[in-house]
Chain A
């Protein structure tokens, strides 16, 4: 009896999970298959899981003529690397200072970090600061700085890791040995904090790779600084614009040729999501750990 019930439950669970896994993955499959579909087939039959005719044309097109994609890729990679390194440096250093219970003024700093989690000025004042006061509009800084470089939540997470997982004795020993604060931080604290550093670095890296808002808001003229996400975003907007104003566009001559064909669009999106799909199997374990850490504490 028991085992039969157990067996039925396991089968039920497998069926549900297979359906959900398919639902999660199928849109990506459609995207990738569409990118390998012959463009004429695509226009006749739409995006399909079983195209009549396959083609590599979209990828040939991208790598032969699609300088803009490769350039955007380069921007995205630089942004992700620089962003992650800077974000990790300033977050870990601030968190380390805050983890010292006897640091004079610590409570004030803690409050300043914490308050950012509760209240923020929102888009309009932030936009004014970055465009009018700091003038970073239409520069690489606009992709790097607004919003993404550090957030209070990660500082709190890292701070509590430092204060709970690094024994005070080790720090005292390093101090007695004559190590400077910074030396202690880099050669004692950071090596002991690999899990949290990896997790927060991962979150920062994904946030940078996926961000499209900063480029969308601040890069109004410098389309040469577009990241992959910005390029994909603009392409989708052009398609929408064309499908709504097809008559007018032909008059105005807003080059129809400059809009990539249906299969090329999907190939560009595939290329854009590829780094996530490739690295996902390796990072997902760490990612899950990170979510649990933040979710339980948060």
Chain B
């Protein structure tokens, strides 16, 4: 294709002016939204003083990080972010593959409807999700306390006060919202498998389950590995809405719902602790960057097709 274009290449730079003009709004936006904030990262090394601004505030070296890592919070938010993400990756991948295989093998046309239903939660904002969860878990009016627990003759539970339930609730909500999306990707990958492999397997007498475990899953392996590695690259980032909206920012739950993202948010806008917040933010940006680069390197080794770069 490049050879084709060399013919048209000898025009002067003038020819490209319209293209530069077209690119300009997008580039300006990237500059404002993504590059202009970068110098602000230096705040992590400063003691922020609102009067003096970012550049006037005095440098304090690594002091903010020292304070951050001396608190229990640093450990808790890192642990929560990584552990939740790991569980989400495992649960969502297994369920999505299971559902994708069922859908791929189904002959009835209803399968389209099934797929639409399970993708629906993906379209909804976390604010709406928090209402849906509240409908079930509200202490006074919730369906669980008023209908299920009452029928069982049990005492109502203050769901939003009890830590022990939340790891399960969050994993459930994440799966409920995310499976449809992951399922679409795996389904596309399964439908790309050559059907003649299955035909010859079934002529050889392989049962349905044998076909699934001996053909479908092994052939899905590259997709599974890529999707997982890409998710691992994002393991230092959490879904802010899930951890902030769904538990409704309840202090009693912080030890199991606080992640790096919610910590940075609360530090900045609820507690006004700019130094800690920016230190935690930079910590996330840098470790996150290393993880993305690392996982992409591995993806590239396995299959350059899937690599980001």
Q: Does A10 contact B (CB under 8 A)?
A: yes
**Is B132 in contact with A90, judged by CB distance below 8 angstroms?**
no
When the two chains form their complex, are residues B30 and A147 in contact, meaning their CB atoms are under 8 A apart? no
Residue total for B at the interface (Cβ-Cβ under 8 A): 111
Given A119-B289, A129-B32, check contact A31 B22 (CB 8 Å): no
Contact between B124 and A273, CB atoms less than 8 A apart: yes
Interface flag for A120 (CB, 8 Å) = yes
In the complex, whether A46 has a CB less than 8 A from a CB of chain B is yes
Q: Min CB distance, B244 to chain A, in Å?
A: 9
Please tell me if A67 contacts chain B, counting CB pairs below 8 Å.
no
> From A132, which residue of chain B is reached at the shortest CB distance?
B53
8 Å CB contact of A97 from B19, B130, B180: B19
Q: Given B16, B35, B115, B189, which contacts A104 in the complex, CB threshold below 8 Å?
A: B16
| Chain B hits for A16, CB < 8 A | 99, 102
Known contacts A124-B277, A134-B32; is A30 also within 8 Å of B135 by CB? yes
Task: List the A side residues contacting B268 at CB < 8 Å.
Answer: 123-124, 127
Chain B residues near A126: list those with CB within 8 A.
33, 37, 40
Is A102 in the interface zone, CB < 8 Å from B? yes
Inter-chain CA distance A31–B160, complex, in Å, is 19
CA distance A276 to B128 in the complex (A): 11
Kindly state whether residue B123 has any CB partner on chain A within 8 Å.
yes
Q: Among B114, B123, B136, B249, point to the contact of A21 (Cβ < 8 A).
A: B114
B141 contacts chain A at the CB level, 8 A cutoff:
yes
Partner of B128, one of A20, A123, A243, A272: A272
B286 to chain A: closest residue by CB: A119
Residues on B with C-beta less than 8 A from A298 are: 230, 308
* Any A CB within 8 A of the CB of B68: no
Contact with B along A89-127 (1 / 0, CB 8 A): 111011011101111100001001111111111111111
* Stretch with Cβ within 8 A of A (4 or more), from B3-11, B77-85, B162-170: B3-11
Contact pattern, B 33-72, Cβ under 8 Å of A = 1, otherwise 0 = 1111111110100000000011000000000000000000
Specify the chain B residue showing the minimal Cβ separation from A292. B188
CB contact under 8 A between A147 and B8, given known A9-B105, A98-B23: no
| Complex Cα gap A121–B176 (Å) | 30
Whether B202 sits at the interface, judged by CB under 8 Å, is yes
Evaluate contact between B142 and A150: CB separation under 8 angstroms. Answer: no
- Bound complex: CA of A27 vs CA of B131, how far in Å? 9
Residues of B within 8 A of A103 (CB): 16, 19
How many angstroms from the CA of A298 to the CA of B134 in the assembled complex? 34
Smallest Cβ distance from B139 to chain A, in angstroms?
7
With an 8 A cutoff between CB atoms, is B107 at the interface?
yes
A180 interfacial by beta-carbon distance below 8 Å: yes
| A224 interface residue per 8 A CB criterion | no
Sample of 18 A–B contacts (CB below 8 Å) = A14-B108, A46-B145, A47-B146, A90-B25, A94-B27, A97-B23, A115-B34, A119-B285, A120-B37, A121-B281, A123-B264, A146-B33, A149-B33, A150-B29, A150-B30, A240-B248, A269-B128, A280-B120
Q: A27-B133, A125-B281 are in contact. List 18 more A-B contacts (CB 8 A).
A: A13-B103, A31-B132, A93-B26, A119-B289, A121-B37, A122-B284, A124-B264, A124-B277, A125-B41, A129-B40, A149-B29, A150-B30, A168-B5, A206-B123, A233-B127, A240-B250, A295-B227, A296-B189
